[in-house]
Amino acid sequence: MTDKTYRRVVSGLDEEGRSTIIIDAPMGIATSMSGRSNVIWRTQGVPADNSGREDVDTGGMTVQELSEGGSLFMIHTFPPDHGGGEPFWHATDSIDYITMMSGEVVFVTQTGETTLRAGDVIVDRGIVHAWRNDSDEDAVAAIAVVPALPVGKGRTV
């Protein structure tokens, strides 16, 4: 998996209440069974509190920890699977807006699958699913995660 670091720029207010850039730095990194996420921003609740100048603690956390309430925005890298292992089946209590930036990844559900390529967008509504990268290259997606009520009876496969 490529160890690309992404830059994030975050706006806010300065001490005099004027608009400014408050952060211009690399993103934190979180890991999961499906790959690595460069975390752009996380809020503690919805609606978000845009006051304050503090950075969010995004380094060293798992994606599961990051999706516990509030919103989350990240760039996720799916490494090539090379035919190894069982897919990581899971469901989340969130609605995820996912835009493929590069490469291709297979989104697998209990009844079928679809291949997503650069420019494709998927709205994952908290269902049981898995990801698979059948190619020889990393697949990269921008993902916004917002809390949602859980759906369905089967939370795991």
pLDDT per residue of the chain (157 residues) written in tens, 0 to 9: 556 677 889 998 999 989 999 989 887 777 766 677 777 888 888 888 888 878 776 656 665 565 567 888 989 999 998 666 778 888 888 899 999 999 999 999 999 999 999 999 999 999 999 999 999 999 999 999 998 888 865 544 4
CA distance linking residue 128 with residue 77, whole number of Å: 20
Q: Where are the domains of the chain?
A: 28-147
Q: Are 2 and 78 in contact (CB under 8 A)?
A: no
**CATH 2.60.120.10 fits domain 28-147:** yes
Take residue 36 and report the two structure tokens written for it. Answer: 């690595």
